[in-house]
Amino acid sequence: MHLYHNPFSSNARRVMMTALHLGLKLDVTEINLGSPDDRRRLAEINPNVKVPVLEHDGMLLWESGAIMQYLAELAPQQTLYPEGRRARADVNRWLFWACQHFSPSVGIFTWENVWKKFVEGTEPDPVELARGAAELAQYAQVLDQHLAKRQWLCGDGLTLADFAVAAPLMYIERAGLPVAQYQHMMAWFGRVQQLPAWQHTNPVW
């Protein structure tokens, strides 16, 4: 299996954490998203020109949630993607929520406070940051309430859902995410940060 990724992509980090936790070996190619040549090569395997992309047995698979599910199904005796229709629906719910709601709200801060000046040479837009704060507050409150009486997002143990939702929080300090007040969420994130899969995927800034 071959993974095209970038260590600063939270989407790619979800996949890397999944593979590490499952003990699956991936050959990895790092894509420099600032390089026109790398972006051209990436467009040849993903028309969205985004990472991650998994190549396996002649198949090219993109979208981080789909790759995570695929990897879990390759690993015997795994527990990250539990058996059973209801249990998997619960995990899928949070995978989709992470991609549709939580990650985009975090992404406003990562763009404005981390990447915008590097890419465009411009300063953060206060209007956009205010929009991001409102969106992030809405979804962080959902997450915080859900975690009030549980250790992990789904069932009684770690699942793909935890990796998917936690990944964008890799920018919690650099992007200045206003989430310190959500104590249940922060306690859960602290547990995720103690996992070897998280610690072994920390990018070198």
Domain(s) of CATH 3.40.30.10: residues in the chain:
2-74
Total number of residues shown for the chain: 205
CA-to-CA dists, residue 201 to 107, 148, 166, 170, 188, angstroms: 19, 27, 13, 10, 18
Residue type, 135: E
Q: Measured between alpha carbons, how far is 49 from 134 in angstroms, rounded to an integer?
A: 29
Domain(s) of CATH 1.20.1050.10: residues in the chain:
85-195
Topology (CATH level 3) of domain 85-195? Glutathione S-transferase Yfyf (Class Pi); Chain A, domain 2 (1.20.1050)
Entry pTM: 0.96
Residue-by-residue pLDDT tens, the chain, 205 positions: 999 999 999 999 999 999 999 999 999 999 999 899 999 999 999 999 999 999 999 999 999 999 999 999 999 999 999 999 999 999 999 999 999 999 999 999 999 999 999 889 999 999 999 999 999 999 999 999 999 999 999 999 999 999 999 999 999 999 999 999 999 999 999 999 999 999 999 998 7
* DSSP-derived 3-state class of residue 75: coil
Look up the CATH architecture of domain 2-74. 3-Layer(aba) Sandwich (3.40)
- DSSP state at residue 23: T
Q: Measured between alpha carbons, how far is 67 from 189 in angstroms, rounded to an integer?
A: 22
Q: Measured between alpha carbons, how far is 175 from 105 in angstroms, rounded to an integer?
A: 12
Q: Are strands 27-30 and 59-62 parallel, antiparallel or unpaired?
A: unpaired
